[in-house]
Structure 1
Amino acid sequence: MSYDCDVLVIGGGIVGLSTAYALTRARPGIRVTVLEKEPGPARHQTGRNSGVIHSGIYYRPGSLKARFAVEGAAEMVKFCAEHGIPHAVGGKLIVATERSELPRLHALVQRGRENGIPVRELGPSQITEFEPEVRGLAGIHVATTGICDFGAVAGQLAALVRDAGAEIRYGAEVTRIDRRADRGVAVRTASGAIVRGRVLVNCAGLHCDRVALLAGDDPGMRIVPFRGEYYELARPELVRGLVYPVPDPAFPFLGVHLTRGIDGGVHVGPNAVPALAREGYDWSVVRPRELAATLTWPGSWRIAREHWRYGAGELRRSLSRPAFTRAVRRLLPAVTESDLHPAPAGVRAQAVLRDGTLADDFLFVEGARTVHVLNAPSPAATASLPIGREVARRVLAQVD
């Protein structure tokens, strides 16, 4: 069998491009082809987030998320500086507004220190030194958190990958995969083109479970899409930097927070509601086949039964701007309903196991001549360079 490339990467988001980048750096001359169904890179999770370079404070010590986020935050700042990509590292506040949140806030302090992250504890008056309009009972300041333009990072990675001799094909949606352990992998795209490679890497994000099934591998999970809805703050002067509530450890979502972006605007959100399509960026986008796949997955119903109260609150904030405003006012009392203007939403590709468990860590699964990245939501953009190296390591073992 003649091969068009050594490694075939499906997905042109920041993880797929970081993987291609790591492969070309680890083994100059390796033939890499990236297939991306959109007309350009970073059109979904990578290009539709708050742009935060996460410190790693939230993640369980010893987990891939903790290790890769801490490594990745420093590397991402260095990468942006080297390539002239706008970025800033000003730290962030995590603020407790109710007494019931104080034990969780103290647990975050301990977790941060275990992960090697500098954390400063704050009282109410110290909170206002950082953010004059924010109110809270206690808080912590995490100095290593920053912001950047992840879309620009992905664009730079694409340029570096091409300079290294790799090929990126846009508008190349994968419709069929034929894998034979002794003959590599052949992929057909929607245009009818066939691309053959020795090893396939699945970095398809919102569609990674579908790609795994096309390749003949049972991923043991399904992507359940959650839409994150944002507002833009009409009075950005109310917020100096990044302000977060204390998260609920039962969920991978960080709650409604305030993020001053690299452009100077302030995003407020997101709340998290089930999306009616993998790329369902508002309630009007419904794809019956994708919705049916979510509804027939046993894990989806187990989530609904266990967390319906939480989900009802998120849904209420989605449908009611006054309810969303009340959530924001817990941190920022000065905000009014008229201060919030709708902004573009994002969709989180959340892996859900059959028993209803929300996959908490990055998830990599290997098959014969395949490597699947099956759970890489936030902080994957922050951690994309270490993730790319980890995937490349697994791929090269199979190529060899």
Structure 2
Amino acid sequence: MWPTLRYMGGACGRARCPFAAGFLRTIEQPSAGPGLLCRGGRSSSTSSFDIVIIGGGIVGLASARTLSLKHPGLSIGVVEKEKDLALHQTGRNSGVIHSGIYYKPESLKAKLCVEGAALIYEYCNLKRIPYRQCGKLIVAVEQEEIPRLQALYERGLQNGVQGLRLIQQEEIKKKEPYCRGLMAIDCPYTGIVNYQQVALSFAQDFQDAGGSILKDFEVKDIEIAKESPSRSKDEMKYPIAVKNTKGEEVRCRYVVTCAGLYSDRISELSGCNPDPQIVPFRGDYLLLKPEKGYLVKGNIYPVPDSRLPFLGVHFTPKLDGTIWLGPNAVLAFKREGYRPFDFNTRDVMEVIFKSGFIKLVRHNFSYGANEMYKACFLSETVKHLQKFIPEITTSDVLRGPAGVRAQALDRDGNLVDDFVFDGGTGDIGERVLHVRNAPSPAATSSLAISRMIADEVQQRFKL
């Protein structure tokens, strides 16, 4: 197996840094609209590509865009199992443009989030995609949280996050009049955007550059075409067959997988290591009633538990004026299970028998039980929210949407905290690059991730 990639480039410190401007202005086309076509410059009968990207979420589409701009002579296709793009993790998140404060210094998450935030702001300016740089307060409401808050502040400085300040009660009140807290980190660089709109714009750029998008193409198998005396020159040039559940196939030379909730299964289909396994965690949001919208101006976050990759229930303003409260983090019994009683036997069996989930539960039983309890009883979530804004009552909130996070878990029950990218061995493995673990902040980091993937694809596949 290829070693896990480690990105060695520097972080980009400004939204309009020279790198961002040069990288993004390689192509300038109108943003994608509601009439997004299925295919780009290649005809609908085309079934062979130099590179096929599996997955039409924001990471897959950003990678397709970057590869098509960097290698205009190559034919590149994206296959997506749904009838539309960016429907799952990309289209079901809080829409926060993260600043990069949370992540371990020198990790891929830290580097790519800081760089990616700069690129997202620059891209949205270039394409006139609406966003709001509303900032964020990470608030300590208990005395014992203050040392953790100060440590997080130091981490943010190490990661090169712009504009961070530690503020006291008086300034908290100036920024968020209804928020109580002893101390907070002011993160002015945090913003909000509609990531599905961003992803569709990536798709339009990709198609304008000649790329093809095949929707309703659920991958069932990835294999090397069998040798035969009648094998055509086209078959020899494109030795990998990517087949779908309808019996159709596309041929290619190389594959990049960005399959999100199915990244482990797609890896296994290609003959590569299925570990780390994906464990789906559902996050349920509440909605603050419109007449109570005055209570929240920007993002308000708790001090996170450093032992877990979840940031805790928080307050997030959306571009449409709504305020989302949440999410929690509970095991989903289906990989795309957005309702509490969605269930898939295979998904559940794999979590129990193929991953380290039982060990995870043993180590974090009280946390998991508390999350389940909050998911069942709305009043319990409201009690947590009242620590920050006491004026909120149960009658002020409604149940809202939900998303499912694709969280990688190793066999020892450890949540894989960083992004993971790897390949494999053998005839197929040497022609495949897998994005194995790309949860939050992957949307913020998508353009930076795509640049790293393009560099690795060029090096590994000797394009």
Q: TM-score, normalised by structure 2?
A: 0.84
Matching residue of 1:390: 452
Matching residue of 1:345: 402
Matching residue of 2:3: none
Structure 1: stretches of 5+ with no match in the other structure: none
1:357 and 2:414 correspond: yes
Matching residue of 2:266: 211
Matching residue of 2:360: 303
Shift of 1:399: 3.1
Matching residue of 1:51: 95
Structure 1 CA distance, aligned partners of 2:354 and 2:68? 38
1:274-314 per-position Cα deviation (integer Å, ceiling 9, x unaligned): 00000011122101111111111241111010001000110
Cα RMSD of the aligned pairs, angstroms, is 1.4
Matching residue of 2:5: none
3-state DSSP of counterpart to 1:247? coil
Counterparts of 1:20-169 in structure 2 under 5 Å?
A: 20-117=64-161, 118-169=163-214
Matching residue of 2:4: none
1:244-271 per-position Cα deviation (integer Å, ceiling 9, x unaligned): 0000000000000000111111000000
3-state DSSP of counterpart to 2:329? strand
3-state DSSP of counterpart to 1:381? helix
Matching residue of 2:217: 172
Q: TM-score, normalised by structure 1?
A: 0.98
Identity %, equivalent residues: 45
Shift of 1:397: 2.4
2:197 is matched by which residue type in structure 1? A
3-state DSSP of counterpart to 1:378? coil
3-state DSSP of counterpart to 1:382? helix
Contact 1:98 1:137 survives alignment (8 Å):
yes
- Kindly indicate which of the two structures has a greater share of residues assigned to strand: 1
Contact 1:199 1:398 survives alignment (8 Å):
no
Q: 4+ residue stretches of structure 1 with deviation over 6 A?
A: 180-183
Structure 2 CA distance, aligned partners of 1:208 and 1:99? 41
* Correspondence for 2:431 among 369, 376, 381: 369
Shift of 1:184: 3.6
Contact 1:205 1:376 survives alignment (8 Å):
yes
Structure 2: stretches of 5+ with no match in the other structure: 1-45, 227-235, 425-429
Contact 1:229 1:344 survives alignment (8 Å):
yes
Matching residue of 1:194: 249
Greater alpha carbon shift after TM alignment, 221-230 vs 26-35: 26-35
Shift of 1:3: 7.6
Matching residue of 1:326: 383
Structure 2 CA distance, aligned partners of 1:95 and 1:51? 20
1:240 and 2:297 correspond: yes
Shift of 1:101: 0.8
Contact 2:313 2:328 survives alignment (8 Å):
yes
Structure 1 CA distance, aligned partners of 2:382 and 2:257? 39
1:126-184 per-position Cα deviation (integer Å, ceiling 9, x unaligned): 10100000001111101111111100001101111011111001110001111479964
Contact 1:219 1:374 survives alignment (8 Å):
no
Structure 1 CA distance, aligned partners of 2:134 and 2:358? 41
3-state DSSP of counterpart to 2:351? helix
1:44-73 per-position Cα deviation (integer Å, ceiling 9, x unaligned): 000000000000000111111000100111
Structure whose CA Rg is larger? 2
3-state DSSP of counterpart to 1:271? coil
Contact 1:5 1:33 survives alignment (8 Å):
yes
Q: How many residues align?
A: 399
Contact 2:217 2:245 survives alignment (8 Å):
yes
